Structure 1
Amino acid sequence: PSKAVLLVGGRGSRLRPLTDKIPKSLLEVQGKTITEHLLDLLKKYGIRDAVLCVGYLKDKIKEYFGDGTKIGVNITYVEENEPLGTAGPLKLAKKYLKDSFIVSNGDELKNINIPRMFRLHKRKNALATIALTTVDDPSHYGVARLDGSRIVEFVEKPVKAPSNLINAGFYILEPEVINMIPDGFSMLEKDVFPKLAKMGRLRGFPFAGQWFDIGNIERYKIAEKKWEGILPFEEDEMDLG
């Protein structure tokens, strides 16, 4: 894929007071904003076109990145005038999304082998492929039940989890998925992915790279300590083979 959509419109209320004056996508981990770490991942694999879906404190984000030139990417902005969830903003960005594209939540750090994920997506003729990360305690997340690489269903915050694989907030989608998104506020996780699962066109890609959710202060501190950054190819053992 040559384009990525980053969902950076969220308010980050669980990160207050840090997010009273700056959007959570501009919070720094090891001296670099969360959004820049995501852009590093994209750039590593040659993806230099990013659509930023902005909402809360959007002017701060636009001021910080501008058109992306200074960090070597080409940034387009799509503005939400009210919260549209994880799916709604894709309708606003539709005119930019003509081929397979990436969508990523803006409040997580992740290190994923994108070409490998894309190969699975194409080979299985998926309409959407979700990156899956392993967690010790999946009870706070949407947990995937798989049949091979096919996602049968997601169980939200289960008491007894079908696996330890959770949605890592990173997707490869085909443009026709945008036509399945309802108007207004909507969530990929609840309004779109279940339909694709029923059609047998939703795949899961488990990855072993790091993943941190920066949803609250405690998790933010863990990421600050443990994140290893996006390594260039030579150092990335996961890419051998």
Structure 2
Amino acid sequence: MKAVFLAGGFGTRLSEETAVMPKPMVEIGGRPIMWHIMKMYAHFGIREFVVLGGYKVDFIRSYFLNYRARSCDVSIDLTSGNVEWLDACTDDWRITILDTGADTMTGGRMLRARHLLAEAPFCLTYGDGVSDVNIGEVIASHNRSDKWCTLTAVSQPGRYGALRIGTDLETVQGFSEKGASEGGLINGGFFVCDPMVLTQIDGDDSVFEAEPMNRLIERNKLGCHIHTGFWQSMDTLRDKHVLEQHWASGTPPWKIWSEAPRDTIAQWRRSA
């Protein structure tokens, strides 16, 4: 199963950082926040990623093209040009990075990637929010339903538009305006989508969270998985500082993965 990242926006509310890089590449604890999200998905066995870039997409390409050099010890023979990696890369990921246009909206980005998404259900997420949500449970919830899209509903007061959830606690019936419902459930991302969602998107100007989602609601095809644990987006510099404080504590709530020592990984690969 693939995890698709919406990673092409301008991130204007975090302009202190996004003037030089796309928001998913803003670092928490010395790693891009998108890396943290990828580690979450990999923990649940999802290691194939499709990054829908736009604004400063070359920054994302450069990071992952040089990922092994950033992560592993290396021996370089300057005379011959030979490079020997001294240990294995612990992240066995496959990452596809697409330039979906700087001005393309979220739905349009998905539509531009339909050649990669049309064959099977896929996960979809924003490149700027972390959580301790159980991705496996979200997938299982989606598979039990007849919905075309299942989103993760989370609690967050204030500046987000709240969701109206049906009495079955599994169906989204509509949205409220931002600020209309303090403490209500909101769309936290971490979607699971069937390819049919792509048929509800008109083109580059289509905002996935607007008309396509409303069409899904009209068809009773938008479901939700309620998550009561940790969730935090990084919309502002204040949000970034909050996440940095969590990481500095040594026990950030979203760090659900564990790291094996590099020498252990290398030894296992040699024996295999």
Quick check: TM above 0.5?
A: yes
Pair 1:156-2:181 in alignment = no
The one-letter amino acid paired with 2:254 is: G
**Correspondence for 1:232 among 225, 249, 257:** 257
What residue number does 2:101 align with?
A: 81
What residue number does 2:85 align with?
A: none
Q: Deviations over 1:151-210 (max 9, x none)?
A: 11111314246x711100221110011011011222111111111111111111111332
Within a 5 Å distance, the mapping from 1:46-195 to structure 2 comes to: 46-66=45-65, 70=89, 71-97=91-117, 98-135=119-156, 137=157, 139-147=158-166, 148=168, 149-160=170-181, 164-195=184-215
Q: Deviations over 1:141-160 (max 9, x none)?
A: 12111111111111131424
What residue number does 2:268 align with?
A: none
What residue number does 2:216 align with?
A: 196
Contiguous gaps of at least 5 residues in structure 1:
234-241
Could you list the runs of 4 or more consecutive aligned residues of structure 1 that deviate by over 4 angstroms after TM superposition? Answer: 67-70
Give the secondary-structure state (helix, strand or coil) at the position aligned to 2:188: strand
The one-letter amino acid paired with 1:213 is: S
Identity across the alignment (%):
27
Report the TM-score, using the length of structure 1 for normalisation.
0.89
Pair 1:211-2:231 in alignment = yes
Q: Which whole-Å CA distance do the structure 1 matches of 2:178 and 2:121 have between them? A: 30
Q: Which whole-Å CA distance do the structure 1 matches of 2:67 and 2:142 have between them? A: 28
Contiguous gaps of at least 5 residues in structure 2:
69-88, 247-251, 259-272
Q: Residue 132 of structure 2 contacts residue 231 of structure 2 at CA under 8 Å; is this kept in 1?
A: yes
Q: Deviations over 1:10-69 (max 9, x none)?
A: 111211222211221111112221010010011001111111011111111101013977
What residue number does 2:27 align with?
A: 28
